[in-house]
Structure 1
Amino acid sequence: MATNRYAHIADDIRRQITTGSLSAGDQLPSEAVLARQYSASHVTVREAIQALENEGLILRKHGRGNFVRHTFGRIAYFADYASADTWAADNIAVDVSVRSGEVESGPRLASLLGLPMKTLLTEYVYLGHHRGSPCTLARVYVPCDVAKLDVPLTSPTTPFGEDIRVRLAEVGIEVTRTVSRVTSRLPGAEEAWALRIGTGTAVLTIERRSWDASGRVVEAALLVLPGHSSEAIYESPAPAARGLEATA
């Protein structure tokens, strides 16, 4: 038995979800009803809901209430720029929408792209959904003086903006090297809102940069995935065995 009152409430609701008493898409009783049901304060109930939201079990819909989130297999990011298969999902369909616009580079983007402050960039924002729940967020940046790309607003090849590099190649800009840097942290308020997760949910963040043959950064991406449903996979070819011969 959990010693903390909010943990006991979270344990009971978690049990109802895992046993199927509460199904994906079901709405939880209001906080007032839960407070009466568990003889607890509204603050304690809110803490329990927050804990379940951070675990990816509850989806808050502002103005509508709390719902059991549709769970899904892990979404994998393959950090192999030479491969066309840069992502995979365990038996789920991810619908991706894209919006784009021009922005000026602030300190972080200027450093990432190796450009002066206030350089004009095109920002492509990819948001992936599974059954209406956001599950991936990617922001991809291309300097405007590098290329102007025609990117479709729906049904891109991946939720991580990999089609940007394909379209760069189509206009004669070949990516010769890509580096991905993976970290984990808590989400910012804007990221938590976009992914409909709690601010206490750990996220996996991937910072990706791509260079052309001249050493110019032609694309940079900032990817954010909920930590409870994502992973990054690195794969390298085995080193060639040189100068070694089998002996009898």
Structure 2
Amino acid sequence: MREQPPYLRVADLLRQRIADQEWAPGDRLPSRAQLAQECGGVGENVIRRAQELLISQGVLEGRAGSGTYVAEPRARLRMVRSQIGGRDGAPFVADLSVLGERGTWESNTEAKVPAPADIAARLGIAEGDLCVRTVYELLSDGKPVQLLTSWEPYSVTANTLVVLPEGGPHAGKGVIARMAEIGITVTRAVEQPEPGHANAEEATLLGVQRGALVTRIQRTYYSDDGRAVETADIVLPASLGVIAYEMAVG
């Protein structure tokens, strides 16, 4: 395993000192020279890169001509999971629009990725069968609040206009609407939430401390013939949002 880059280690140290309330929101951080000494004698360039990372994640904020400060904490979002969510677009954006916030996402899609054993079991396919994998970083007002990794069997969407979830004429419509375009009716979703802790990569992407509490959701969409057409892993830090389930009754 490769050693963690020094600036990531320093970023973790700064996050920890903020979590330990050594610095409160609005406090100015010491100079880079002082922090370099306090962080084991690293170079000031390492401190700069660590601060830039934390600024991009909303943990710190830079003020021109003044220095670097601890950012004010972000309000927790209420993420509503609904039986009808996603039919008219991405459910994340729909949830944020209710709150009057601007929801966007960044994504990266890879086609023809061999399915690992756990994903294959969830999709009811053989290990190694090809999938379309899309990794999403979901943003609220430009700041990351949720991660999602989606897997779709390549055999379901191959040679159609919806093979790429974020490409083509139906990009960004969500799984249910895209599947409808190729004659597949999604009638059921199964979600399995579990508590967990952020690993190093998740902490870096979401701007939280490594090991911070998160909710992990395994979600799988099924068509009317019982076939799994998509499965996803969703990660939401407890500090950034709370999940609520809304279900029709009667």
Q: Same fold (TM over 0.5)?
A: yes
* Aligned match of 2:11: none
Q: Does residue 96 of the first structure (1) align with residue 105 of the second (2)? A: yes
* Aligned match of 2:150: 140
1:111-139 deviation line (CA, Å, top 9, x unaligned)? 22122110100011111234543222111
Q: 1:11 to 1:190 in 2, by over 3 A?
A: closer
Deviation at 1:215, TM superposition (A): 1.0
Identity of aligned residues (%): 26
Structure 2 residue identity aligned to 1:92: E
Instruction: Give the 4+ runs in structure 1 shifted more than 4 A.
Output: 6-9
Q: Structure 2 residue aligned with 1:209, among 220, 223, 231?
A: 220
Distance 1:136 1:151 in 2: 18
Deviation at 1:100, TM superposition (A): 0.6
Q: Does residue 151 of the first structure (1) align with residue 165 of the second (2)? A: yes
Structure 2 residue identity aligned to 1:141: W
Distance 2:124 2:131 in 1: 12
1:66-110 deviation line (CA, Å, top 9, x unaligned)? 763464333333222323484423443233122211211112211
**Local SS of the residue matching 1:11:** coil
Moved more, 85-94 or 142-151: 85-94
Deviation at 1:188, TM superposition (A): 2.4
Distance 2:221 2:249 in 1: 23
Q: Structure 2 residue aligned with 1:115, among 115, 125, 136?
A: 125
Structure possessing the higher radius of gyration over alpha carbons: 1
Q: RMSD over aligned Cα, in angstroms?
A: 3.7
Deviation at 1:168, TM superposition (A): 0.9
Distance 1:125 1:7 in 2: 31
Distance 1:142 1:182 in 2: 20
Q: Does residue 224 of the first structure (1) align with residue 225 of the second (2)? A: no
Q: Does residue 58 of the first structure (1) align with residue 59 of the second (2)? A: yes
Structure 2 residue identity aligned to 1:29: P
Distance 1:35 1:145 in 2: 53
Structure 2 residue identity aligned to 1:81: Q
1:2-21 matched pairs, under 5 angstroms: 10-14=20-24, 17=25, 20-21=26-27
Deviation at 1:192, TM superposition (A): 2.2
Moved more, 133-142 or 89-98: 89-98
Structure 2 residue identity aligned to 1:125: V
**Local SS of the residue matching 2:156:** coil
The unaligned stretches of length 5 or more in structure 2 are 1-15, 41-49, 62-66
Q: 1:131 to 1:235 in 2, by over 3 A?
A: closer
Deviation at 1:173, TM superposition (A): 0.9
TM-score, normalising length: structure 2: 0.67
How many corresponding residue pairs? 205
* Aligned match of 2:75: 73
Structure 2 residue identity aligned to 1:181: Q
**C-alpha contact (below 8 Å) 1:104/1:118 kept by paired residues:** yes
Q: Structure 2 residue aligned with 1:179, among 186, 190, 196?
A: 190
Deviation at 1:199, TM superposition (A): 1.1
Moved more, 163-172 or 187-196: 187-196
**C-alpha contact (below 8 Å) 2:109/2:135 kept by paired residues:** yes
**Local SS of the residue matching 2:30:** coil
* Aligned match of 1:126: 136
